[in-house]
Chains A and B, each alone.
Chain A
Amino acid sequence: MFWMRTINLGIKSLLLHPLRSMLTVLGILIGVASVIWLLAISEGISNEAQRQIESLGAATIMIRSVKPPSEKLNAQGVTPYGLTRAEFDMLQSTIPSIQSAIPIREIRRQFQYGDRQVDGRLVGCTPEYAEVTKLVVLQGHFISDAENFKRQTSCVLAARVADRLFPYEDPIGKRVYIPEHTDYYTVVGVLKHRNASAAIGGSLDSQDFSNDIYIPIKTLQQRIGDTVTRRVGGSFEGEILQLNQITVRVNDIKEVERTAALIEDSLKSHNDMEDVAVVVPLELLKQAQITRRIFQLLGAVIAGISLVVGGIGIMNIMLATVTERTREIGVRRALGAKQKHIILQFLVEAAVLGVVGGVTGIIAGVLCTPVITFMKELIATSRPDIMATLPEEMRNVTPQIVPMSIPISFFISLLVGVVFGIFPAIRAAKMNPIDALRHE
């Protein structure tokens, strides 16, 4: 009863100056909400990164061809670069911890069927590719070993390509035309839709699998070859490249780092050109975890700063209140309040400010996910140009509220109220009742 009365009195006293109290609460609210938001967004980003990395497989290693810096290329003509088939064979036969390896060649091309056309990626690969990149076949089958071996002109369509080229027809058995090579490929399979993968910390580009057409790598090698030309703004740009990527599966997760080192050693000859990069998802995974820790630490620091600022706001307002209500303090003392009663009264007021800020801050914090989803949709529909300039992480992030952040922020805001309220409260209690009574 006494406590209920005291809290009730605190709330009534704060309501004497509603605007002032609200602004003070706002200080704590922003602090608490920003902590929850920050943690939720960083959790969302790192979850996404982790999911991506895990989908690549912790026991895989990716070796990618990278376009060398322009000063390393001959001014005249086209310089071959990147991974070769010979290196692929060499890696596969010399490193025993490699369980399997997939050669991949990717070329940007236009695909046509009838009068429909789609720009997309022509990917030459082996049957294992579907399994490693988690592609699911919806209809028909993925390219087979036999098709690869026989260099058949069969192809598998990703979901969106299939939708665009064959909106009203069954694509299986139809022939897709590639005008650059005046060549036809017969559709043997259609894939289920797969979400685009986000870029991971600069080591791996984001991949949008939805515009791909997959053909056997040997077919690609035979019919298209290594030299590919592309028309860029009126002139031709050439590229001589045997393989874009080799994806290696290691037989034991403990061997991943040693195998990666061996691969780098085997590909030393590329050091000059800087045209090969080895990506180890396991390392990325560790990196992502470190990144998450950094985010959390950053969150704690920002939380600390904003809550101290909010606390100073509380202290400021409580000092003003104590001065303003000197007479009330004198009256209360005259009517029998002990020092502890006065301390309690003002401490409760400060704590109420803190708790109200904390609770509203938690509400504002929990709104993080819907608000961000709404904002993303709003920007995507009203200003797609802005959306396109945003980094992949921001476009794909779904904030994930960290459950512990809610009780923790509640108690911290209560604590902030009490800690920053104690000095003004003691000051109020130490007043001489006689002087306080005469205070105008």
Chain B
Amino acid sequence: MNACSIRELKKEYVLKSETVRALRGVSFDVPEGDYVAIMGPSGSGKSTLLNLLGCLDKPSSGQLLLGADNVAQMTDNQLADIRSRRIGFVFQSYNLIQQLTVVENIQVPLYYQGKLGSAERKRCIDLAMRVGLGDRLDHRPNQLSGGQQQRVAIARSLVNDPYFILADEATGNLDSKTTAEILALFDQLNDEGRTIIMVTHEDEVAERAKRIVRLRDGLLQSDIKNNQAQRQAAAARALQLIPSDEPSTSEPVEA
């Protein structure tokens, strides 16, 4: 089964009197367990594609299937529902909610589903431990480093058991060491069977994916499988940056 399947997806905006054709007919599938990097220069339509995949926007035409859900024709409320139940966002600037603790931040998508039981809380704590933040459950985002905040965001993206993790320049704000750590975490998650779609413009990041989709001028330019040897080499290079034992202890980043 495909985590996501798009056919002839088009998106047009009307800006003043001008029509901008951001996506002009894109088709591809993302099977479950895949790890896709979406690349392309600015203006290529990758942000638009990201918004459509994240159900933040509706396509002008074409088919957009997320798992079994056909989201192309959904209403605003239905899309919100899908977002809370089946999509895991990871953003460049972490986007944690300042007034909530680590566990509460992870719980946000469940809160909007109305799931606030103790089982759900337990699940959030487990996820926090899974990303290595077991000792920071009640910290606020401004007490965490950038890498730690991004780990919280990743735990949050997993809490609703999504079709895929949608990462938008997830390592864009991190130094290379922390980037390596986060990418290692993505690798692990992918190895566990999680589907990851990552928008990036950095080649080193894209190299870690199983597959690179390039967009140009609103069209699919190329869709290439990364060869296994290349991926492993990239992972090994990155791994050298990570100190053997302790996790990242970089300074907290100003929120």
Contacts and interface: CB of A to CB of B under 8 A. Distances in A.
Interface SS majority for chain A = helix
A1 interface: yes
Interface string A326-347: 0110111111111101000000
Contacts of A394: none
B108 interface: yes
Given A337-B112, A433-B56, A16 B83 contact: no
Nearest to B81: A336
Contacts of B239: none
Contacts of B98: 16, 328
A336 B116 contact: no
Interface string B47-85: 000010010110000000000000000001100111111
Interface of A: 1-2, 5, 9, 12-13, 15-16, 327-328, 330-339, 341, 433-434, 437
Nearest to B114: A2
A336 B89 CA distance: 10
Nearest to A333: B80
Contacts of A15: 99
B108 A332 contact: yes
B80 A5 contact: no
Contacts of B109: 335-336
Contacts of B20: none
The CB with the most chain A CB atoms within 10 A, among B54, B84, B111, B114, is that of B111
A226 B191 CA distance: 118
Contacts of A341: 112
13 contacts: A12-B99, A327-B95, A328-B98, A332-B112, A334-B54, A335-B83, A335-B109, A336-B81, A336-B85, A336-B112, A337-B84, A338-B112, A339-B76
A368 to B, nearest CB: 36
Given A335-B156, A336-B83, A13 B99 contact: yes
Given A336-B83, A336-B109, A434-B51, A331 B116 contact: no
Given A1-B116, A336-B112, A434 B56 contact: yes
B206 to A, nearest CB: 22
Report which residue of A2, A333, A334 has the largest number of chain B beta carbons within 10 angstroms of its beta carbon: A334
B56 A334 contact: yes
Given A335-B83, A335-B89, A337-B80, A5 B99 contact: no
B100 A12 contact: yes
Contacts of A330: 95
Interface in B96-117: 97-100, 108-109, 111-114, 116-117
A331 B56 contact: no
A325 B20 CA distance: 29
Interface in B28-61: 51, 54, 56-57
A316 B91 CA distance: 31
A327 B95 CA distance: 8
A332 B107 CA distance: 12
A334 B89 contact: yes
Contacts of B89: 334-335
A5 B111 contact: yes
A9 B99 contact: yes
Contacts of B85: 336
A216 B167 CA distance: 105
A9 B101 CA distance: 11
6 cross-chain pairs, A with B, having the tightest CB-CB distances, nearest first: A336-B84, A336-B112, A12-B99, A336-B83, A338-B80, A331-B95
A8 to B, nearest CB: 9
Contact of A9 (B51, B57, B82, B100): B100
A331 B57 contact: no
A262 B84 CA distance: 86
A178 B113 CA distance: 93
Contact of A16 (B99, B112, B114): B99
B66 to A, nearest CB: 14
Given A5-B111, A336-B108, 12 more contacts: A12-B99, A331-B91, A331-B95, A332-B108, A332-B112, A334-B83, A336-B81, A336-B109, A336-B112, A339-B80, A437-B56, A437-B95
A433 B91 CA distance: 14
B162 to A, nearest CB: 11
Nearest to A328: B97
A327 B255 CA distance: 12
Contacts of A338: 76-77, 80-81, 112
Interface string B207-223: 00000000000000000
A335 B112 contact: yes
Contacts of B116: 1-2, 5
Nearest to A331: B95
Contacts of A16: 98-99
A332 B97 CA distance: 9
Contacts of A336: 80-85, 108-109, 112-113, 160
Contacts of A339: 76-77, 80
Given A1-B116, A9-B100, A12-B99, A335 B57 contact: no
Contacts of A433: 56
A434 B47 CA distance: 10
Interface hub of B81, B82, B95, B114 (most chain A Cβ within 10 A): B95
A390 B51 CA distance: 72
Interface in B105-158: 108-109, 111-114, 116-117, 156
A183 to B, nearest CB: 86
A337 to B, nearest CB: 5
Interface in B157-184: 160
A2 B115 CA distance: 8
Contacts of B160: 336
A334 B80 CA distance: 7
Contacts of B77: 338-339
Nearest to B78: A338
Contacts of B83: 333-336
